[in-house]
Structure 1
Amino acid sequence: MTRPLSSAERSLQGRNDWLREEERKAIESRGEIGRMEFWLRLTRSQITKEVKANRGDVVAGFTMVCRLFKLVVERRAGGDPRLFDHLMQYADTVLKQHGPRS
């Protein structure tokens, strides 16, 4: 028998369910571009909240992530897919371990 979820667990589960549903709707509406736009909107909103909470280093962190992604895309376009493949593998591993549960 499983115990009932705590208030915090129910809240987290509700948030994860909402994220999955909104992502699904974005994909249905605009495909992978819609999915990307959904996550960019959420990220921008979170960055704004972090800056207001005096955690402005989030801007530098996001900038570095964008620069990294640009670099690996350029390398792949130049014929070397290794960095892109490694980045995708790492991102998949992190999201499986720490992302919203399916």
Structure 2
Amino acid sequence: MTRPLTSIERSVQGRNDWLKEEERRSIESRGEVGRMEFWLRVTRSRINKDVKAGRGDVIPGFTSVCRLFKLAMDKRAAGDQRLWDHLMQYADQVLSQHDPRH
């Protein structure tokens, strides 16, 4: 027998369900571009909340992630696929281990 969820657990579950549904709707509406735009909006909102909460290190962190992604795209466009492949493999590993939506 499983115990009932706490109010915090229900809140987290509700948030995750909302994210899944909004992502699905974004994909239905605009395909992968819609999915990307949805996650950019969610991320921007979260960055603003973190900055207001005194966690300003989120800005250089996001900047670094964006620079890394652009570098991987540039290298791939120049014919070197390795960084792109490594980045995608790492992203898949991290998301499969830590993203509750999977």
**TM-score, L = length of structure 2:** 0.95
* CA deviations over 1:28-70 (Å, ceiling 9, x no partner): 0000000000000011111111111121111100000000000
1:45 aligns with 2:68: no
Moved over 6 A (4+): none
Q: RMSD between aligned alpha carbons?
A: 1.0
Matches for 1:21-100 after TM superposition, within 5 Å? 21-100=21-100
| Residue identity matched to 1:16 | N
Q: Which residue of 2 aligns with 1:9?
A: 9
Quote the Cα distance in structure 2 between the aligned partners of 1:29 and 1:101. 20
* Seq. identity, %: 75
The Cα shift of 1:5 comes to 1.4
Name stretches of at least 5 consecutive residues in structure 2 with no aligned partner: none
The Cα shift of 1:101 comes to 2.9
| Residue identity matched to 1:79 | G
Determine helix, strand or coil for the equivalent of 1:33.
helix
Quote the Cα distance in structure 1 between the aligned partners of 2:95 and 2:33. 19
Quote the Cα distance in structure 1 between the aligned partners of 2:93 and 2:50. 25
Checking the alignment, whether the CA contact within 8 Å between 2:20 and 2:101 is kept in structure 1 is no
| Residue identity matched to 1:48 | N
Name stretches of at least 5 consecutive residues in structure 1 with no aligned partner: none
